[in-house]
Structure 1
């Protein structure tokens, strides 16, 4: 949770609490444009929001019930931002948004800062939380039992307390081990075997009015390739083409390999418990001690192993989907947005699980991920998707982590540095001295050498 304390105001508070997963049942007969006119008393901020979310102009006359998850999230954030209130509260504003949209949302929320107002945000994307916050409160405890909120700390100190699992001022440890983002740590225990290499040709795919062009590329065993790009630039389509679910235009073919895929959208259809699902779909892996150690236990599936699949929460379903995908023997693992619905700690654990599994089994993974910290931790190489979303997109050939991230971040006009203690990527404040220095040097993202 991030929290701002700009001053002690005694004015009566009026709070607004938009859900992180807004339901389309909000008065669906009211159109987007009608609500914007209704809120036109704050025209300057409204103009700013429309400039930031220019793509929403395309859906301004659409009923709210017909908006996608990302469109609905941006609409909800904009609707709260144009309200007149003393306290503004946002619950997971980055959900459903890509990296560019997350930064735009963060900038909009920071526009609300005034001397006598409060802005409170619950956020699991640590890079967005870092960018948003002036102060941080850490929450710890046991899920569904109890929770404790710490006193406010500076952004860097608060996030590092959370990652370290230790509160130095109280000499209290709330987690047994620290969470770090050292890129080499996940592969230290295994010999990296990249003797086998595979190639895919340049391809094109047209879906309705959307056209995707893919540059030829290659990949090897023991390698994780992360796909970076805005929503609507064809990342999921590329995954489906690799999996054989979508055929390239012109009759071109991709290597015929065994594929296991975790889809972007998870729809629980199985009637039965999680245990029964695992025994039916991945019995051999589920009974394997190695799989239990590498995947099952770190994801804490035992907490809900005997619950009905239909009754699981979003985070529980996500962890089950990751286990199912990794439990199927395959040459390539396609994992679409593994961080969705997971909290900050679960995201780091899931990243470690995926990386350790790929290194141990000497397989290949293609991963779509919008949480930048998770993406850079996982990636050996990067495929950058650019172009006009939902119209004409281009997938570059795989390139190194530093080169790919520099290309991607240059398009976003954002720079990152790495924290010297936790090694996590941190967004530089826009137009700060470090931001300007890195842009002049062309270093939008770089790996600092360990001391």
Structure 2
């Protein structure tokens, strides 16, 4: 049995500026069921994934391209890690971090890379798709019983994981810190490796400048350095 995933981009959905084509032309709606309705609170389209037949008509007729329908294999439906809300982004499966090894996450924007990193770092508690009633840690650990990730999440639960995450929007560094790159590094250096990273990341010619004067590439390398000087797992 195929599992439907209906994703609505609430920023693109503009019911006041369209003819509610998704509701009018939905074949399930025409049969008398309420597959696509207008949510009374959000005033946005709402899709019932349980009765959606995956025809894709709503995707084609939406003038703002706000709807995406994805058909998933049944087994993926049982491995949902996180979902932000109804008809919203959801994450399936997680990579398993291992001490001393490097894991690369590749994918286009919106694929869930940041969500996965935030979950694995302990900044975001996975809700297993139960966004209305998020589970407690005991349920999450039971979900991962028999996997390597259970041990990882046990450490997060007990506060034994320390993570250091490089910011994506490096230009925000200049908005929150007024000083040189070296001053920023020394502020966060918990490992005593500031000078080593300055040389390794080729920051010698820029590290004494105010962060507001650095180029995009220099800010990227500085952000990598700041992330690396922290004493994290």
Give the structure-2-normalised TM-score.
0.49
Give the structure-1-normalised TM-score.
0.27
